[in-house]
Amino acid sequence: MIQRFGVSIDDTLLEKFDRFIEKRGYVSRSEAIRDLIRDALIESSIEENPRSEVFGTITMIYDHEVRGITEKITHLQHQYIGEIRSAVHVHVDERNCLEVVIFHGKAKKMKELVDKLSAMKGVKNVRFVFTKVEP
């Protein structure tokens, strides 16, 4: 069943939202609002229940010239072997590598891995994207 409801919004915010909709290729405001609500509800449910099963990616850039960094990253990933489904390694330039890790596991455990990677000397940037299947 579909429910309709009204939203009051000022002109400036609506103009920005309409540009967002156009840029993303949505066919309607309703479609964009539904996606934003879904994303917010998933994020909220994961925050409320850190034991939630999540799927996602960890993307990082690191300087492979930093002593022992490659081995440390590999060793850490092996500690999460039950959650890590795949990893892709790309040589960015002479010093830097990009690694994308695909995972499935408890949100809290994945956040723990992200925090450990972020704290490593030589890791320049880490992004963590997660989602879960909602009924």
The per-residue pLDDT for range 54-91, each reduced to its tens digit, is 999 999 999 999 999 999 999 999 999 999 999 999 99
Q: Whole-model pTM?
A: 0.75
Of all residues in the chain, the percent with pLDDT exceeding 90 is 73
The per-residue pLDDT for range 28-54, each reduced to its tens digit, is 999 999 989 988 888 888 788 878 889
The per-residue pLDDT for range 98-121, each reduced to its tens digit, is 999 999 999 889 989 999 999 999
Which of 91, 89, 100, 94 shows the shortest CA–CA distance to 126?
100
Which of 84, 76, 65 shows the shortest CA–CA distance to 124?
65
